[in-house]
Structure 1
């Protein structure tokens, strides 16, 4: 199989690329190496894959020659996009529409014209649910995002499904629930927490800390992508990819304190507009269709994440 991984220099993209290569697949990657967070981290991610192990295009999807990028590609793993709830408000919204909606439409259109892509896997987000109507949330529950970021992820997901239903492109959308693990972005909570625990620094906690999240270890997310890319599913399918942890941020802090033996110092701040109070996804559908379920527990995953922080921030 020849696979295209968009956003290959990112956390999930680089981890997925390493898995695909280890499974014997050919990998093509594209990434614009934006400065949303330190580009040195992205370049380190590329180095960890092995620069000679794959074909790399350092380009924006909205500007690239996608006929060239997609040449001979069997499966597209579309991981690229502009992350972050807090930054999506105000003047930065155009960045989100460009990176999350327009880039996805352009990639889908190129796949439609070529007609050779056997599977198109899109990295969606649990942010599309907003404050959901029930928990665990099912894929058929009404999406109602409460952040501009969530709006753009949902719009792109709808495009993915539309191209599947209308043009027969075998598309799949995976709604990720808070991905964590070694290599997670430095602006995300778990990396900030384990880094602070190791270095004895303080952390910023927004809101009461009673917010409940469904955390998913990166290796489980990668496995979901591989199964979606190689498995059978109807065009336009949507699946939750959730770890099933359902714990509060305060409980996470307690667990990191226990793992590290170094109690975290917490600086408290008001909640941020667009942050949901709770997430929790049902994975019955993906288990039935693709045989996927989360295998890494939160405690095990956090132990691996903390061990990585010890190596990375020494």
Structure 2
């Protein structure tokens, strides 16, 4: 199978591309190397892929480039590219989010429609579309109420995927990721920051009382969900969670144990856009995709800690 992976230099994109190549697929990866975090981290993510014969790479911006050449001939599109970050999406940077998350997705969908070869278009969405709801667990039928500009752009792109499926027959699947973690996690993300600070002996910044909960999902389970989205009959929106809903305070205790470091907390005020709780109902993904998370939180965090110890240059 010929696969296009956008955002291939990132956390999920590079891990997914490696898995696709290992399964014998040919992968064309694209990335524009936004300055959200260090390019050196992204180049390191690509190193093993670049060394293999089944991987090709093009540096381009999905919001401006001619996308026909990269989509033509692709059997599957895995659209992982996005401008990430809830807190950074407020204010003057919002234009970047609309360009990277909405416009880029529409242009890629349009190219897939015109190509006529795409058998599956998988869009990486986010649990952020649900917002700060008290209706838990979150279900695909729940009303989306984004609580941040980032969530608004992810939901808008989801709607575009649905419109292209219903009006033009583009076979789209949207996967709502719940707090992804593991090796190669972005330097701005919580677990990465906490582990790096613990290993340096620095205080851990906690916004609010620490009793907020998240449904944490290990990267390998996210990759598996993408592969399962190729199954016949997959269509529409699916929650992809890890089944590890834990308070932040409990996570920090576990990280201190896994790193063998003493924990010092530096508390701050709750940040705009941060939701109180997330919890995924994955029944639909289990029934229609065969999805079932396999990596528990302790094992997953232990693997991320070991990866970070081996890659201090990625700490940010």
| Aligned-pair CA distance for 1:107 | 0.3
Which runs of no fewer than 5 residues in structure 1 stay unpaired?
none
Alignment partner of 2:57: what SS? strand
Residue in 2 that maps onto 1:180: 181
Task: Tell me what 2:37 maps to.
Answer: 37
Is this contact kept in 2: 1:239–1:283, CA < 8 A?
yes
| Farther-moved stretch of structure 1 (27-36 vs 190-199) | 190-199
Counterparts in 2 of 1:171 and 1:71: CA distance versus 1, 3 Å: same
Which aligned pairs between 1:198-213 and structure 2 lie closer than 5 A?
198-213=199-214
1:261 Cα deviation (Å)? 1.8
1:122-201 alignment, distance < 5 Å: 122-201=123-202
Alpha-carbon distance, 1:133 to partner = 4.2
Distance in 2 between the 1:132 and 1:28 partners?
38
Q: Would you say the 8 A contact 2:11–2:186 is kept in 1?
A: yes
Is the counterpart of residue 224 in structure 1 residue 220 in structure 2? no
After TM superposition, the structure 1 = structure 2 runs for residues 1-314 of structure 1, keeping only pairs within 5 Å, are 1-53=1-53, 54-228=55-229, 230-233=230-233, 235=235, 237-313=236-312
The whole-number CA distance in structure 1 between the counterparts of 2:114 and 2:128 is: 30
C-alpha distance after superposition, 1:232-268 (max 9, x if no partner): 2354x10000001111110100111121221222211
Q: Which runs of 4+ in 1 moved over 4 A?
A: none
| Structure 2 residues without counterparts, runs of 5 or longer | none
Query: Can you list the C-alpha shifts for 1:161-200, whole angstroms capped at 9, x where unaligned?
Result: 1111111111000000000000100111101111222222
Instruction: Please report how far the alpha carbon of residue 51 of structure 1 lies from its aligned counterpart in structure 2 after TM superposition.
Output: 4.5
Residue-pair matches, total: 312
Q: CA deviation at 1:108?
A: 0.3
What TM-score do you get using the length of structure 2 for normalisation? 0.96
| TM superposition shift of 1:52 | 4.5
